[in-house]
Structure 1
Amino acid sequence: MKDWYLLYCKRSEQERAVINLDRQGVECYYPQVTVQKIVRGKRTECSEPLFPGYMFVYFDPEEISYTTIRSTRGVASFIRQGAKPQTVQPDLIYGLMMNEDSEEHQVKLSSFPQPGESLKLTQGQFKGIEAIYQEPDGEKRSFMLINLLGKPVKVSVQNEDIVKK
């Protein structure tokens, strides 16, 4: 009986894992989001994995063994619960598939503050501290420059923990 499982892939080798797993007849899915980035001074849109390094696979372990999947180039291991690979609820996967292309799930660089902009942290360990926005650190975090003991320190904080001054 086929089930969805979660794999951990080797660093930056999700595409390689997909190609090799497809050859074995394994259905693969890793949700992606469109992100606007500044590359070589120009704003460009590109797709990035929503969960970097992770991929969902759909297969029957009686037809293809766990060892075969785990030994595939680009794959590091299964996410496990105890000794057995953890299954993922199909509703979660189908929900991700349906929401992947919706506008509200698109991450845009314009929603981030501009580098050098002064902000105030509203939550977390740096609550109440004024900071200077540096750059995004993935989709949910940002690098901020804060002043600790008279020295500027670069820290990574949750995006929801900042508010513009």
Structure 2
Amino acid sequence: MNWYVVYTKPKWEKKVAEKLTQIGIECYCPLITQVKQWSDRKKKVEMPLFNSYVFIQIEDADRNSVFEVAGIVRYLFWLGKPAVVRDEEINVIKNSLKASNIADISVSQIQVGDKIKLETGAFSNQNAIVQEVSKTHYILVLESLGCVLKIKYK
């Protein structure tokens, strides 16, 4: 079975993932914990890593069944076809979110625009294009997902 990306209504990612799980469709909505501050308090909240995206694993013939779930707008397309995400890329996302310290990824002597294959850390064996390198963060483009990751150093 392939992993696909469905595009959801804004702020519906967790609800869509929950409903998909309830009807028996395997899905993955990567979440990160952020501290949000209001005028009277601070609170840790889980936010989706990718706004309006939920990854689903489903047979190609059953792809239309996901539209039974409220909040799903459409599939994400890449080059005119529904974007297929490899298992390795899903595992990279899962492993990177489990990592407590990603400062061990070295970007020395890498120039903006270089195509690289990361060899260590949470993104090992991942192909990416370096978009930006600074003292506090770097930005990598994961080509096959068509997304940009901004990674801050600790």
Larger Rg computed on CA atoms: 1
TM-score (norm: length of structure 1): 0.56
Which one of 94, 99, 103 corresponds to residue 100 of structure 2? Answer: 103
Is 1:39 aligned with 2:21? no
d(CA) in 2 for partners of 1:31 and 1:101?
11
- Which residue does the alignment assign to 1:7? 6
d(CA) in 1 for partners of 2:21 and 2:33?
24
Q: Which residues of structure 1 form unaligned runs of 5+?
A: 106-139, 141-158, 161-165
List aligned pairs for 1:3-152, cutoff 5 A.
3-62=2-61, 65-104=62-101
Deviation at 1:35, TM superposition (A): 0.9
TM-score (norm: length of structure 2): 0.59
Deviation at 1:103, TM superposition (A): 2.4
d(CA) in 2 for partners of 1:81 and 1:44?
37
Deviation track 1:24-60 (CA, whole Å, cap 9, x = no partner) reads 2111111111111212332222111111111111111
d(CA) in 1 for partners of 2:38 and 2:98?
23
- Which residue does the alignment assign to 2:134? none
CA contact (8 A) 1:8 1:55 kept: yes
Please report the RMSD computed on the Cα atoms of aligned residues, expressed in angstroms.
2.5
Mark the CA change 1:84 to 1:24 in structure 2 (over 3 Å): closer, same or farther: farther
Of residues 14-23 and 47-56 in structure 1, the stretch that sits farther from structure 2 once superposed is 14-23
Deviation at 1:18, TM superposition (A): 1.5
Percent identical across equivalent pairs?
Answer: 21
Give the counterpart letter for 1:47 in structure 2. E
SS of aligned partner of 2:60: coil
CA contact (8 A) 1:8 1:75 kept: yes
Deviation at 1:72, TM superposition (A): 2.1
Mark the CA change 1:104 to 1:34 in structure 2 (over 3 Å): closer, same or farther: farther
CA contact (8 A) 2:14 2:29 kept: no
Q: Which residues of structure 2 form unaligned runs of 5+?
A: 103-138, 140-149
SS of aligned partner of 2:11: coil
Give the counterpart letter for 2:30 in structure 1. P
Deviation track 1:96-139 (CA, whole Å, cap 9, x = no partner) reads 1112132236xxxxxxxxxxxxxxxxxxxxxxxxxxxxxxxxxx
CA contact (8 A) 1:33 1:101 kept: no
